[in-house]
């Protein structure tokens, strides 16, 4: 077997100290206004939302988070020549930090460490934006055209990258095993990749603490903690 595609969600990163959105300790429960900070319409229309959004990025635990055993197990699967594509809904870059080949990682929702201008599309880094904020500019504008800057994450209300989505669909269609890790499979179109994989003949394996709408399609559902379950599962798959 050499055609395994893996899709990861927030659950793989919670074990690295990055909170999810919807869980019992999720960001939406901690701050009812959080969704406004990551919604494109609110962000573009309200300077206060932008200032709060930048501060949220500045204080994110993703800056110091380290990959956990599940991230590292995916690197080992890749080294064994078994991993085709690694699709992620996460924006924290932990897969790449763990050592996954960036060319194999498909970031459906972008990456929080890049910055793009909403006017001229000039790109820079989040670190550069943070330096300007720390220097006293609470809402840094594009240095080239003066338009609003945002991180290279896909905010609520924005469309996913058509190219990335197409590549993810192709990976789901072509794999022999589709492994879902740490996602509730409730956000579309990412969730539909599980069904696409099954309809294309792949085995579906789901590792998630809570039930998902796609459990009935899976050949295996694992509820054990991700940091324990994923290394064990991937070691087994790499031997098949």
Per the structure block, which two tokens stand in for 165? Answer: 């989505």
Rounded to whole angstroms, how far apart are CA atoms 175 and 189?
18
Tell me if residue 95 is catalytic: no
Rounded to whole angstroms, how far apart are CA atoms 209 and 123?
37
Q: 50, 82, 104, 109: which is the annotated catalytic residue?
A: 109
H helices of 94-161, in order, are: 94-98, 126-134
Nearest to 126 by CA among 144, 134, 114: 114
- Nearest-5° angle of CA 178, CA 180, CA 185? 120
- Sheet of 110-117: strand order equals 123-125, 110-117, 149-153
Residues with a known catalytic role: 109
């Amino acid at each position: 077997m050499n055609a395994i595609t893996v899709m990861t969600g927030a659950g793989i990163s919670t074990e690295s100290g990055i909170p999810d959105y919807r869980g019992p300790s999720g960001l939406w429960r901690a701050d009812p206004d959080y969704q406004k900070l990551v919604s494109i319409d609110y962000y573009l229309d309200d300077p206060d939302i932008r200032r709060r959004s930048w501060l949220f990025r500045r204080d994110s635990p993703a800056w110091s988070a380290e990959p956990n055993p599940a991230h590292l197990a995916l690197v080992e699967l890749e080294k064994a020549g078994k991993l085709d594509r690694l699709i992620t809904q996460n924006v924290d870059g932990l897969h790449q930090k763990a050592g996954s080949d960036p060319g194999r990682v498909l970031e459906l929702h972008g990456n929080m460490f890049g910055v793009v201008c909403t006017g001229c599309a000039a790109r820079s880094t989040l670190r550069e934006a943070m330096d300007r904020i720390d220097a006293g500019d609470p809402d840094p504008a594009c240095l080239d055209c003066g338009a609003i800057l945002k991180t290279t994450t896909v905010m609520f209300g924005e469309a996913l990258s058509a190219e990335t989505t197409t590549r993810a669909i192709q990976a789901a269609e072509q794999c022999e095993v589709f492994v879902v890790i740490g996602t509730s499979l409730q956000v579309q179109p990412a969730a539909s990749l599980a069904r696409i994989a099954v309809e294309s003949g792949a085995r579906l394996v789901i590792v998630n603490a809570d039930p998902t709408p796609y459990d009935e399609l899976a050949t295996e559902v694992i509820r054990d903690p991700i940091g324990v379950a994923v290394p064990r599962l991937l070691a087994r798959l790499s031997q098949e």
